[in-house]
Structure 1
Amino acid sequence: MTRILTRAGLVLLTVLIGIYLLLPVLVVVPMSLSNSSFLTFPPGELSLRWYHRLTQDPIWAESALSSLRIALLSAAAAVILGTLAALALVRGKIPFRNTVTAILLAPLIVPYVIVGLAVYIAFLGLGLTETTLGFVLVHTCLGVPYVMINVASGLVTVDRRLEMAAMNLGAGPVSTFFRITLPLILPSVLAGALFAFITSWDEVVTAIFLSGPALTTLPVQMWSGIRVQIDPTVAAISSLALLTIVTTFLLIGLGRLTRKMIRSRAVDTTNAGM
């Protein structure tokens, strides 16, 4: 009985914390449906005028496409570099392992303002400000730690005997990785890719230093919109971004649930056959 009450209490506490964290964000959705020209909550008269304005204003569409392009490219680069770093740290025998790990995790520790200022000073002389390449380089560095942490945790759980068996049967290191290791750590790689994508998509501090008339990301455009004019257009684009993130997490959860159901059916079939 005590164990049931403890579990129920933990579940209730988790739900309350989730509501506490999500409620301020969910307030944005009804604000975006207001007919008022100012941010008001609760909204008086409901309207879709601000969503219609998003479709009519090319600035928002251009900034959203720029953010999507940068996020996809930086997430792909972060997955490659972060996976290689995790392989080197978990499987390899490299000197000064702790020092290398601290350097790779530095983007999580150093304030983004310092990173943005340093990047701006370095990229200004190289002509990489207001360019897709400059954004991708910075956001890749910010996303690598998330991929490395997720992939490293996945590699620790992989049975090394499977890899050794593949090598004993004639597979090389590259073939063993793609045929054995990668399928086993694929959920960790995808989780790291998702974190890297969200980090790039949501990043605004370093993007302010690199943005300009030639290239502006969506978070910077939202920040500029709040500073210049406060209207529900920002709430509308925020609600669309929130809907995209929620849908992504729901699809990931549905995929994991489907895989668990398939595995349980396979186990049941195997037991029935025995």
Structure 2
Amino acid sequence: MISDRLRKTLFWIFVCATALFLLVPTLIIVPMSFSEGNRLVFPPEGFSLRWYGKVLSDPDWRAALVNSLLVGSVTTMLASTLGTAAAMMLNATSFRGKALVLGFLLSPMVTPVIVFGVGSYLVFARWGLAGTHAGLIVAHTVLALPFVLVSVLASLRMVNPNLALASAGLGASRLFTFRRVTLPLILPGVISGAVFAFITSWDEVVVAMFVANTGTRTVPIMIWNQVRTSLDPATAAVGAILIAVSTLGVALSYTLKESDR
């Protein structure tokens, strides 16, 4: 019989080995982005920040970065607002077909992205939204909304409903109760969902390739184009920036989740 201590040790060895297997191919991009040479090789040739400087000085990369930040920020605001409103409605009411509505709102999480991208292009081309920031924001909002919905629903289920009833019993309006009672209690969940909404938009490439054009290209599209044409350490530098932003976002979300317990 294997002792509990040995079983736990083997379990953590397996977990660490799996994590390394998944993370090393991604993290290896970071040291490659500091290479002095013109080739994307590992180990890197020397140490230099020249490729980060190139990314920040190149007008195409800067435009893509501005587009990503713009689309990601507006997407975050829209997804957070709509997702929070939908979560509160689903949490506070009970009606026939509620599970169907919830499944419909969560469907972008399980729909193949390529299918969603093709459908978005066909619809937006007819509406005149293809190749615009508005079309990209709408598409990313649909993809990001389920993350906000799930996060806020989880927070709402930990809120005592008697608090809102007590506020209403003291004469407070619904808006005042939401602002002063409910929102502070679910704020960690809202912020956590907003972080994941931004990361979803920040990293998304498939739908953006269908909806965006040369004027609305985001950073992931630029990376994809660079990989297909001329691969250099500048691409690794942008990849390292994406990894850093996503890591900070996940760390912030985890911190908020822990504080909400």
Give yes or no for TM over 0.5.
yes
Is it true that 1:180 corresponds to 2:178 in the alignment?
A: no
- Whichever residue aligns with residue 52 of structure 1, its letter is G
How do 1:19-168 residues align onto structure 2 when only pairs under 5 Å count?
19-168=20-169
Rounded to whole Å, the distance in 2 between the matches of 1:42 and 1:235 is 13
The alignment of Structure 1 onto Structure 2 pairs a total of residues equal to 259
1:214-243, CA deviations, whole angstroms, 9 ceiling, x for partnerless residues? 211111111011111111111011112222
Q: More deviation in 97-106 or 35-44?
A: 35-44
Verify the 8 A CA contact 1:54 1:233 in the aligned structure 2. Answer: yes
Q: Which residue of 1 aligns with 2:193?
A: 192
**Change beyond 3 A, Cα 1:253–1:121:** closer
Rounded to whole Å, the distance in 2 between the matches of 1:114 and 1:122 is 12
- The residue matched to 1:41 in structure 2 has which SS? coil
Q: CA deviation at 1:249?
A: 4.3
Rounded to whole Å, the distance in 1 between the matches of 2:65 and 2:179 is 34
Q: Which residue of 2 aligns with 1:240?
A: 241
Is it true that 1:204 corresponds to 2:196 in the alignment?
A: no
1:73-116, CA deviations, whole angstroms, 9 ceiling, x for partnerless residues? 00110011111111111111232011111110111111111111
Q: CA deviation at 1:13?
A: 4.8
Verify the 8 A CA contact 1:123 1:129 in the aligned structure 2. Answer: yes
Rounded to whole Å, the distance in 2 between the matches of 1:95 and 1:109 is 23
- Whichever residue aligns with residue 115 of structure 2, its letter is I
- The residue matched to 1:53 in structure 2 has which SS? helix
Rounded to whole Å, the distance in 1 between the matches of 2:186 and 2:108 is 24
Verify the 8 A CA contact 2:34 2:51 in the aligned structure 1. Answer: yes
- The residue matched to 1:105 in structure 2 has which SS? helix
Q: CA deviation at 1:131?
A: 1.1
Q: More deviation in 16-25 or 224-233?
A: 16-25
Q: Which residue of 2 aligns with 1:223?
A: 224
Rounded to whole Å, the distance in 2 between the matches of 1:250 and 1:83 is 21
- Whichever residue aligns with residue 160 of structure 2, its letter is D
**TM-score, with length taken from structure 1:** 0.86
Rounded to whole Å, the distance in 1 between the matches of 2:114 and 2:169 is 50
Q: CA deviation at 1:36?
A: 2.7
Structure 2: stretches of 5+ with no match in the other structure? none
**TM-score, with length taken from structure 2:** 0.90
- The residue matched to 2:78 in structure 1 has which SS? helix
Q: Once the two structures are aligned, what percentage of the paired residues are identical?
A: 36
How do 1:7-22 residues align onto structure 2 when only pairs under 5 Å count?
13-22=14-23
Q: CA RMSD in A?
A: 2.2
Verify the 8 A CA contact 1:88 1:94 in the aligned structure 2. Answer: no
Q: Which residue of 2 aligns with 1:272?
A: none
Q: CA deviation at 1:5?
A: 6.3
